[in-house]
Amino acid sequence: MPAKLPIEVCFSPAMYHRFHNDEAIVVIVDILRATSAICTAFMNGATQIIPVQTLDEARQYKQKGYLVAAERDGIKCDFADLGNSPFNFTPQVVNNRIVVYSTTNGTQAIHMAEKSYKVVIGSFLNISALTDYIVYHQRPVVIFCAGWKDRFSLEDTIFAGALTDKLLQTGHYETSCDSAIASFDLWSLARPDILAYIEKAAQRHRLRKNGLDDVIEYCFTADLTPIVPEFTGSALIVEKYCENINNFSQNEKKIRN
């Protein structure tokens, strides 16, 4: 069997320069709510998502007639069509549409990682498909937590631990990264009742304060979709799983079982 590949976890954008690796798959994680919303938009038929870093860019796209989702500090921007809730991205709104998207944390992280081998979107909604995708590509992995304004976040780190757990179980990956080990341990602690545990999270309280916490249970629901959004350098796209990845995934599961 080939040598096992490394898993690393970056807790914050402020630390990403220490983890950057041109050869790695970078998984962008912003559970509450950007990466959950991105997966939902593609589930519901969006054709592309263009992540932009500034509100000026988002406004310019709006003036050109694009469908724009934008928030700052969790609140929908006044010029935007949509905010940051996954529930905004319904089939009636996004099917066969290109969405321009700007958020406080998640879209910034996407652009920070753009020079990596691949940049993909991670959420609980696609965690098993994401695991299969990573194993298929056989590259080092950096799980990049978007956090909150360069700060550590519980929800992103819990997901990083859950993904680390799944990758370790495949037998293709290993870790000696302290932040990956800490993430795994936090996931082990939260896993028995994740919704109760996430009550401790600062972002959970921010969402409640603004009446935006109806998405909590949804964002921690596993495996609602088999899609893995990829960043091309200009837009996020979803290429349908090709048959060989599907076959590979099924064979992997047979081997592990």
pLDDT digit string, tens, across residues 54-90 = 999 999 999 999 999 999 999 999 999 999 999 999 9
Query: What pLDDT is attached to residue 1?
Result: 66
Residue keyed to tokens 């962008």: 28
Query: What pLDDT is attached to residue 12?
Result: 98
Whether the CB-CB separation of 104 and 110 falls below 8 Å is answered with no
Is residue 169 over pLDDT 80? yes
CA distance 116 to 151: 22
CA distance 195 to 193: 6
DSSP H helical ranges for the chain: 34-43, 55-63, 91-94, 106-112, 127-137, 154-170, 178-190, 194-197, 202-209, 216-219, 243-256
CA distance 190 to 170: 22
**Percent of the residues in the chain that have a pLDDT greater than 90, as a whole number:** 92
CA 18 to chain centre: 20
Is residue 242 over pLDDT 80? no
Q: Lowest-confidence range among 124-133, 157-166, 231-240?
A: 231-240
The pair phi, psi for residue 230, each rounded to 5°, is -115, 145
Is residue 257 over pLDDT 70? no
Point out which residues pair with 5 in neighbouring strands.
173
Whether the CB-CB separation of 97 and 47 falls below 8 Å is answered with yes
- 41 closest CA partner among 251, 175, 229, 256: 229
CA distance 163 to 24: 15
Query: What pLDDT is attached to residue 239?
Result: 74
Is residue 254 over pLDDT 70? no
Is residue 244 over pLDDT 50? no
CA distance 75 to 82: 10
Query: What pLDDT is attached to residue 240?
Result: 59
First and final CA of the chain: distance in angstroms?
A: 17
| Average pLDDT of the residues of the chain | 94
Is residue 115 over pLDDT 90? yes
pLDDT one-digit tens code per residue, 184-218: 999 999 999 999 999 999 999 999 999 999 999 99
Is residue 255 over pLDDT 60? no
- Domains (range + CATH), the chain: 5-256 (3.90.1560.10)
Residue keyed to tokens 């709104």: 93
Point out which residues pair with 26 in neighbouring strands.
119, 142
Query: What pLDDT is attached to residue 247?
Result: 53
Q: In what order do the strands lie in the sheet with 5-10?
A: 75-76, 67-72, 98-102, 48-51, 236-237, 230-231, 118-122, 25-29, 141-145, 5-10, 173-174
